[in-house]
Structure 1
Amino acid sequence: MTQPTLRFVNCLDATGLHRMAYWEWAGPSADAPVLVCAHGLSRQGRDFDALASAMSERYRVICPDVVGRGRSDWLRQPAGYQLPSYISDMVALLARLDVEQVDWVGTSMGGLIGLSLAALPRPEGGVSPIRRLVLNDVGPAVRFDALQRIGSYLGKVQRFASLDEGAAYLRTISAGFGPHTDEEWMALSAPLFLEEDGGGCKLRYDPAIALPFSAVTPELAAAGEALLWAAYDGLRCPTLLIRGADSDLLSAETARAMTQRGPNARLVELPGVGHAPTLVHGDQISIVRDFLSS
């Protein structure tokens, strides 16, 4: 498998500038279309290595580390770890890439970023920055009990004696990802850890990303859901919705509703998988490739 190049873009926040890292997989030509792959809440851009490698046959593939994760800077004000800041950073990224439109694959939080970006109001005659949108196990309505499950481990500072120990821990909180070989799981896990002087490792994200997340109440979640449905209903780009059939975050009812309103998403459900499909396996990669090529 070829390896991506690590690059950075400066982004603006309430206190000044921060750098957002992104991993770039060169496409077949300088003018190849761009595919952006955006990760979930506590993950990072290297989650998409398998998908990006496959899609780089056609695309220039960009996999950002959302601020506070991976190789990106940590925010000085944790209140910035919310969708509006992430969307602003992605606007800066698209400007850096010098492209008018991209295709977008977003897992969980990354899907909400893409949905929100695609729904932004545009000048008269302007085009959406998102040409085609893949939402991986996420929609406007998110089950609150799934948020509580994620909140039970998000932001806890943990150190591990070895990478193997850290990967084993991640496996205990990621059962919804579905079955993976040990080799596949280590490939997904290794980029998430930072080795420490003197041995051992820790997760490579700012624990403070949990602070705004933990402040979400059922009432705030309901208000956010209404805004996201309004954004979804305004989408005009072709949209694919991938749902883990056992997902505790995206209900079957919400998924069906998404096929009947807004962009009338095409729905594919994956048996034996919960939240969220990793898009590592060939059959999952083919689903994405076929939709983006259609």
Structure 2
Amino acid sequence: MRAVVQRAFGGPDVLELREGPVPEIAADEVLVQVRAAGVDRGVWHTMTGLPYLGRLAFGLRRPRNPVPGMDLAGVVVAVGARATRFAVGDEVFGCGRSTFAEYAAAGEQSLAYKPAALTFVQAAAVPVSAVTALKAVHDAGRVAEGRRVLILGASGGVGSYAVQLAKAAGAHVTAVCSGAKRDYVLSLGADRALDYAAEDFADGRESYDLVLDIGGNPSVARLRRALTGSGTAVIVGGEGGGRFSGGLHRQFAALALSPFIPQKLTTLLALVRSDSLERLLPLIDAGAIVPSIDRTFTLGEAAQALDYLESGRVRGKIVLTP
């Protein structure tokens, strides 16, 4: 089969398309013929090996999994001896192992049936980003009707879902993005858009019940200034902070401070499981959240896809197809 392979950490040029064996599956896994694979920020981190602290998870000197990728949508072509949820021929979406390939192994607990309303490309754009947004907006943020929500990084993969989820819950949403993407985030349902280059979300003019910081780098103090006295800030990912810890230093600082103040400062690690995917299905079926696809690339164009992701021009998600 064809797969995108990286033998070392580095920029997009470390990615190359190679022929390799079809992966073997464990007893509780299924083999999926990948029709589409989503590209998320986590893939960029595993490709570059940055921040260095992350190498404890994805390999110290070289990638533990030479084929990157987590998101997938496709068709089950083989079933492990103890796998019972899916059968050969089922159309599924979720997370697998090394999904930038024509075939990928996936645990049953990380998959759900593909919504009939979505194409494979659309479905592949859902798992990591939409589940992260779901857990940030609902589980950590406890959004409710009438709440004022501020979303930093609203035009990206997670942000585009966060805007839609917060609006579906009845919140008033202010989206922070570049001026060039203002119309885009408003089209997702945001009530107001702030250009981060020209407007300061923490200038004291507005306060918010919930601030979602998705891939940003403002200080914890600035996030607090944007909150109401009892508001909640959820830090999702984050950039900056140097090559060793990246944005993790802000998350550690927020968690350390939160017990001593009336505001709630928290973070999350969103694992994609079938129950979380299934929570999204009614919203997808109702059209309350719609995957927003910026561009698709082929497997052979994986390097260009990651280069485009890093450019900052992406609106929503990008997806690889065989």
Q: Give the TM-score normalised by structure 1.
A: 0.28
Determine which structure has the larger helix proportion and give its number.
1
Determine which structure has the larger strand proportion and give its number.
2
Q: Give the TM-score normalised by structure 2.
A: 0.26
